[in-house]
Structure 1
């Protein structure tokens, strides 16, 4: 007797919703579950490098700040080494450097910020050197699939970066540049829609 196969329909998609913070950053949602929230320390006090602060807002299509965003960040240390086994030099990563963090926007203002060390230039999988950068993954209510982007530094030489050079229009590249607003202080606003929409990547 032939077996009948029943194919299930695809489940409906759903945005991150208001519960993303409860699951990923419960302290921000008012729940004292952990002694210390995950991802708050990207570079410990013993990690060598230039200490910097990065801040910004996530803006919707009307230019208004989105106030319930969760951002995850990944970066290399000051020598361009990732603390991950896929990086052949990971054993030489700076002591106390985690290279990963989780950031929450302020529920009243939409401002987010984190402290870290300025990353060094990284060698890509194809052997080409990339300019110093920080990678972002963004989720919020109204976003069906997490958005990936990168932040470069306007005071670095980004001319030969292979990822930036994939973006043909120079004004579009500039959406990935953080502005230096003071010593060790950078501003990087992320625009979800509109004329100055940040370049997002299909990772």
Structure 2
């Protein structure tokens, strides 16, 4: 007999954040940049209790392999961060622009939110570059993976459903 799936949460904002979780580098870091955006549902309404995780390369394109990803000592870049959304659905990270690893630079992003049976995976590209993933998408779908540099921050909104739904990746394992 098949049983319905269950979602977990929403408890992300209570159980998982830790001090400095969204601060991969201090805001005073010479090369710091803010990555921010909103998580929106299919009706364009904010999701106030989502949790976003990012993993990225450093400025030289090296993926840090540092034990203790939760460490925030002001100088060790671990390449990993976590941020909860606020009541308006907004999240924010202070990080650096990643260098290219194998193709254009991007930030890997994972989304946890109420109503999801599994986490969602996507990428945040910093420019409309060309790699196999981006080339496989229509221009409209490709735009959902490109952060907009508004001069103060890189803005990347995540739309969980609807006509402008963010492209999510099927990650085996």
1:105 aligns with 2:80: no
Question: Deviation string for 1:114-163 (max 9, x for gaps)?
Answer: 1100001112xxxxxx2111111111111111000001113xx602x222
In the alignment, structure 1 residue 80 sits paired with structure 2 residue 61: yes
Matching residue within 38, 52, 59 for 1:71: 52
Does structure 2 conserve the Cα–Cα contact (< 8 Å) formed by 1:44 and 1:97?
no
In 1, Cα distance between the equivalents of 2:48 and 2:57? 28
- Cα offset, 1:177, TM superposition: 0.6
Q: Using CA pairs below 8 Å that are at least 6 residues apart, which structure has the higher relative contact order? A: 2
- Structure 1 unmatched runs, 5+: 1-8, 26-35, 86-94, 124-129
Structure 2 CA distance for partners of 1:171 and 1:40, relative to 1, 3 Å: closer
Shift of 1:45: 7.8
Cα displacement (A) at 1:170: 1.5
The number of aligned residues is 163
TM-score, length-scaled by structure 1: 0.72
Cα distance in 2 for partners of 1:38, 1:53 equals 14
Structure 1 segment 40-55 matched on structure 2, within 5 A: 40-43=22-25, 50-55=31-36
Runs of 4+ in structure 1 off by over 4 angstroms are 9-12, 44-47
TM-score, with structure 2 as normaliser: 0.84
